[in-house]
């Protein structure tokens, strides 16, 4: 009876308080530029990334999303930056953010431009394009200026 009650409580808790979790990364090249992507279904430039699927770790999810969206394969460990509330966009959404140094990735050799991604660019983090999203711009400024990151994406 206790196991059934525990199972029912956990199920109710999951359904009544759903939370989403995503991952993104600032992938750097040898010149110190960062990779940004433009999706076909939303406006603006973003760090590559996406949702963490059931059964995935955040790092596994990050690797999958980088391959799918940017044609980048992790060859080393990404560096943890933090977890950020994305409540401005969707209530109870969170983003795990990482940096990936130039020595910790390689090209997959597959061009991801197509159904989901319409453009991939490398930009100087000191002078990003005008249409980077607000969350992306906050993270770029924190990378350049240092200091404690804001809690919101």
pLDDT at 14 (0 to 100): 59
Domains of the chain: 19-145 (3.90.79.10)
pLDDT at 19 (0 to 100): 81
Neighbours of 147 (CB within 10 A): 7
CB-based burial, 47-80: b 16+ in 10 Å, e otherwise: bbbbebeeebebbebbbbbbbbbbbbebeeebee
**Mean pLDDT over the full length of the chain:** 91
Confidence of residue 111 (pLDDT cuts 50, 70, 90): very high
Rounded to an integer, the average pLDDT of 127-131 is 97
Name which of 109, 121, 36, 49 is nearest 78 in CA terms: 49
pLDDT digits (tens, 9 = 90+) for 1-24: 556 766 776 676 556 667 889 999
pTM equals 0.87
Q: Reading across the β-sheet that carries 45-46, which strands appear in turn? A: 45-46, 34-39, 117-123
Higher pLDDT, 134 or 5: 134
Confidence of residue 87 (pLDDT cuts 50, 70, 90): confident
**Which residues have CB under 8 Å from 9's CB, separation 6+?**
none
Strand partners, 132: 45
């Amino acid at each position: 009876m206790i196991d059934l009650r525990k199972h029912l409580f956990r199920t109710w808790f999951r359904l009544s308080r759903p939370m989403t979790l995503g991952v993104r990364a600032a992938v750097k090249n040898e010149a110190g530029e960062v990779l940004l992507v433009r999706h076909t279904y939303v406006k603006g430039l973003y760090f590559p990334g996406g949702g963490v699927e059931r059964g995935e770790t955040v790092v596994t999810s990050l690797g999958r999303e980088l391959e799918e969206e940017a044609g980048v394969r992790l060859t080393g460990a990404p560096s943890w930056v933090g977890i950020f509330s994305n409540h401005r966009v969707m209530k109870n959404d969170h983003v795990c953010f990482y940096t990936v140094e130039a020595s910790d990735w390689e090209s997959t050799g597959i061009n991801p431009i197509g159904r989901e991604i319409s453009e991939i660019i490398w930009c100087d983090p000191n002078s990003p394009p005008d249409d980077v999203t607000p969350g992306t711009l906050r993270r770029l400024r924190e990378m350049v200026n240092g200091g404690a990151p804001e809690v919101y994406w």
